[in-house]
Amino acid sequence: MDWLTFIIGLVSSLVLVPVARIVARRVGMVAQPRDDRWHNQPTPYFGGVAIFLAFVISIVVTGGWNHTTRWLLLGSAFTFILGLVDDFIHIAPQTKLIGLFLAASLAVLSGNITYFFPWAAANIAVSILWMVGIANALNLLDNMDGLASGTALVVAAFMAYFFWRSGNGELLTLTLAIAGATLGFFIYNFPPASIFMGDSGSLFLGLTLAALAISRGDQASNVLAVVGVPTLIFLLPILDTAMVTLTRLLRGQSPAQGGRDHTSHRLVALGLSERQTLLVLMGVALLSGLSAIFIESLSYNLSLVLIPVVVLVLTLFSAYLGQLKIVDADSSAQVKRGLLTNWIVELTYRRRVLEVILDFFLIAFAYYLAHLARLGTPLSVMDTVRYLGTLPYTVVSTYAAFFVFGVYRGVWQYVSIDDAFRVIVAVFIGAVLSVGLIWAFYSFEGYSGWMFFIYALILIFVVLASRFSFRLLDRIVSPVNLQTEIPVLIYGAGAGGAMALRECQQNKALNYHPVGFLDDDPLKAGRSIHGLSVLGRLEDVERMINRHQVRGIIIASRKIEKTGVSGKLLGICKRNGVWLRKMHLEFEEYS
């Protein structure tokens, strides 16, 4: 019966989507090409109707409607109608938000609430906010062909697994019906899409799946699972919404406006095709869902190790994408900066609050790993109490050392060896201070200096990994852009050559891709500078031009001009249709 639900939803969707496409064209439900979308021709957006009807057909045939699920289904139906009205007449954002709160309140009546707090009122309030937030997040994610439907499909598949494993047949039926209906639509929505789902589809899928994700809270094996499973399953839309909201506020723009600044747009800006971007983001959703499974299949202590790693890696990747400048702050959509925007800019750039918050989690994570390494896994109740009791002392000590040694003065994009040295010194000083504070104000019983030495080593690794992550991602991402960048050779493998290489790598406006160095010193042949090899000397220039399809050569040494090599080099470049430029750095007096 369970698989029948999925099959009925799939077949119904495959039949209804083409019908919805025809009806949409006749009633004028067609999205015209615009700047914040990818399509370049009018596309119908009645797909949400097909998804919802396929879902309804599936649950009616298989008996998914009953007294347990009726309020959830009524909330889902209300959300669909709200989205459909918005597709037709574009209701005001605040009106749509009120409607989503009403729909979420209906879903709560079926018992779809989280069980994180000991107070029922708090659980109900958080559950409603969760559903409304995820519905809006999936709606914002619907900015590229197949992205929202593909993400919803992955989420539904993982939710079906959880309900199957727990034996919850009623909610499994609903989830499989959604999965079948969404898969049928996804086939038509895969780029290049022939139909869009519209708000009727994205809001319906978002709120329904969000309600299902927390309806299993009382079955979770631990507190981490109650919060972690739903968060990880929806991690992609959550991170995308957070990044878009923060970057728009920093630019002085409204988070509610449209724009080409989502995760998908930024990946395309890095050089990925639309289909590659879709597959990458669906891979992220898949990784997040697998991590959610690990929470309940692994031990509690091991989950506390693996899950933060996944979340931190994806968060840093989102931060890396967020710092890419793909939208100008002075765009026509810009609004005047208000008090909130100025406050966020102050906290983000001057007070470095985001870095401070990140370091809190890194400190707590490193301190926890040190406890596991010293005391073994799983931690006993007494060990856990001791960890939580001494963590504040460790956090305060480490933060104090970080501020004293200027850890927060550096810029991540240009982090250097000097910055790394500051981190190393600050971490060890912070560890020593932690020992002193714990000894003086808590109890050092059960601890040893070796545990804090392990803590220092782990913290150094994770902090440096976070700081150098942007440069590492630059190295990983740079090959993606090879088809658009200009391959160049750098003549001069000395200090000037290293400077030219850094400028080419960090100044994206140049659009240069250095393929290697040239230098007349035979001792440098075959060596590498910052990972780039010295390919040869003057007599090798023509061969290197042909081998690497070089379009330009940059002279990065003044000695080359003095020895007369530049004249020979210019002749070679002219014969091969390659430009020759020299790097010029000079400090002029301002008057």
- Same domain, residue pair 442 and 565: no
**How confident is the model at residue 202, as a pLDDT?**
95
Is 153 part of a structural domain of the chain? yes
According to the per-residue pLDDT averaged within each range, which of 13-22, 113-122, 400-409, 502-511 is highest?
Answer: 13-22
More confident residue, 300 or 31: 31
User: How many structural domains are present in the chain?
Assistant: 3
The structure tokens listed for 531 are 């990972």
**How confident is the model at residue 327, as a pLDDT?**
56
- Same domain, residue pair 373 and 517: no
CATH number for the domain spanning 493: value is 3.40.50.720
CA 291, distance to chain mean position in Å, is: 15
| pLDDT single digits (tens) 195-243 | 999 999 999 999 999 999 888 654 444 555 566 778 888 888 998 888 8
**Number of alpha helices (DSSP H) and beta strands (DSSP E) in the chain:** 23, 8
**How confident is the model at residue 333, as a pLDDT?**
41
Confidence (pTM)? 0.77
Residue 478 near residue 537 (C-beta atoms within 8 A):
no
Residue 367: count of CB within 10 angstroms of its CB: 23
- Average model confidence (pLDDT) across the chain: 84
Residue 487 CA to residue 570 CA, distance in Å, equals: 17
More confident residue, 252 or 211: 211
Residue 450 CA to residue 447 CA, distance in Å, equals: 8
Which of 12, 6, 285 minimizes the C-alpha distance to 163? Answer: 6
> β-strand 552-555 against 532-536: which pairing, if any?
unpaired
Residue 180 near residue 9 (C-beta atoms within 8 A):
yes
The whole-number average pLDDT for the span 53-65 is 88
| Dihedral sign, Cα of residue 312, residue 234, residue 248, residue 192 | positive
The whole-number average pLDDT for the span 60-70 is 79
Is 480 part of a structural domain of the chain? no
- Identify the domain boundary among 301, 332, 348: 348
Enumerate the β-bridge partners of residue 488: 514, 552
Which of 6, 103, 112 minimizes the C-alpha distance to 69? Answer: 112
- Same domain, residue pair 360 and 222: no
**How confident is the model at residue 335, as a pLDDT?**
45
Is 65 part of a structural domain of the chain? yes
Which of 233, 234, 271 minimizes the C-alpha distance to 477? Answer: 271
More confident residue, 110 or 171: 171
- Identify the domain boundary among 348, 368, 393: 348
Of 107-111, 222-226, 494-498, the range with the lowest mean pLDDT is 222-226
What type of residue is 542?
E
The structure tokens listed for 85 are 């009205």
Residue 442: count of CB within 10 angstroms of its CB: 14
The structure tokens listed for 161 are 């697994």
Which of 108, 124, 107 minimizes the C-alpha distance to 116? Answer: 124
| pLDDT single digits (tens) 338-397 | 555 555 555 555 556 778 888 999 999 999 999 888 877 677 778 888 888 999 999 999
DSSP string, 139-196: HHH-SSTTHHHHHHHHHHHHHHHHHHHHT-HHHHHHHHHHHHHHHHHHHHHSSSPS--
- Same domain, residue pair 374 and 326: no
Is 325 part of a structural domain of the chain? yes
- Same domain, residue pair 361 and 320: no
Which domain range does residue 367 map to? 352-474
pLDDT exceeds cutoff 80 at 285: yes
- Same domain, residue pair 132 and 42: yes
Is 479 part of a structural domain of the chain? no
- Same domain, residue pair 292 and 362: no
Is 588 part of a structural domain of the chain? no
Residue 219 CA to residue 208 CA, distance in Å, equals: 19
Check residue 518 and report its DSSP letter. Answer: E
Residue 117 CA to residue 479 CA, distance in Å, equals: 47
Instruction: State how far the alpha carbon of 171 is from the alpha carbons of 6, 55, 63, 235, 533, in Å.
Output: 13, 13, 11, 22, 59
- Same domain, residue pair 376 and 277: no
More confident residue, 334 or 117: 117
Instruction: Classify the phi-psi angles of 77: left when phi > 0, otherwise alpha if psi is within -120 to 50, otherwise beta.
Output: alpha
Enumerate the β-bridge partners of residue 489: 516, 553
Residue 265 near residue 321 (C-beta atoms within 8 A):
no
> How big is the chain, counted in residues?
591
Residue 466 near residue 316 (C-beta atoms within 8 A):
yes
* 528: enclosing H helix or E strand: strand 528-529
- Same domain, residue pair 262 and 404: no
The whole-number average pLDDT for the span 481-507 is 82
Instruction: State how far the alpha carbon of 470 is from the alpha carbons of 313, 350, 411, 466, 474, in Å.
Output: 11, 20, 10, 8, 6
**How confident is the model at residue 195, as a pLDDT?**
92
Residue 380: count of CB within 10 angstroms of its CB: 10
Per-residue confidence band for 29, with pLDDT thresholds at 50, 70 and 90: confident
Which of 211, 209, 198 minimizes the C-alpha distance to 49? Answer: 198
DSSP string, 291-347: HHHHHHHS-HHHHHHHHHHHHHHHHHHHHHHHTS--S-TT-TT-----HHHHHHHII
Of 10-24, 143-157, 560-574, the range with the lowest mean pLDDT is 560-574
- Identify the domain boundary among 412, 442, 474: 474
- Same domain, residue pair 306 and 292: yes
Is 335 part of a structural domain of the chain? yes
Place of tokens 């923060």: 246
- Same domain, residue pair 518 and 468: no
- Same domain, residue pair 210 and 315: yes
pLDDT exceeds cutoff 60 at 15: yes
Is 567 part of a structural domain of the chain? yes
Instruction: State how far the alpha carbon of 559 is from the alpha carbons of 143, 285, 493, 555, 565, in Å.
Output: 53, 54, 11, 10, 9
Cis? peptide before 479, omega within 30° of 0: no
pLDDT exceeds cutoff 70 at 1: no
3-state SS assignment for residue 244: helix
Residue 171 CA to residue 184 CA, distance in Å, equals: 20
585 burial level (CB within 10 Å; 0-12, 13-18, 19+):
exposed
**How confident is the model at residue 299, as a pLDDT?**
65
Per-residue confidence band for 332, with pLDDT thresholds at 50, 70 and 90: very low
**How confident is the model at residue 18, as a pLDDT?**
95
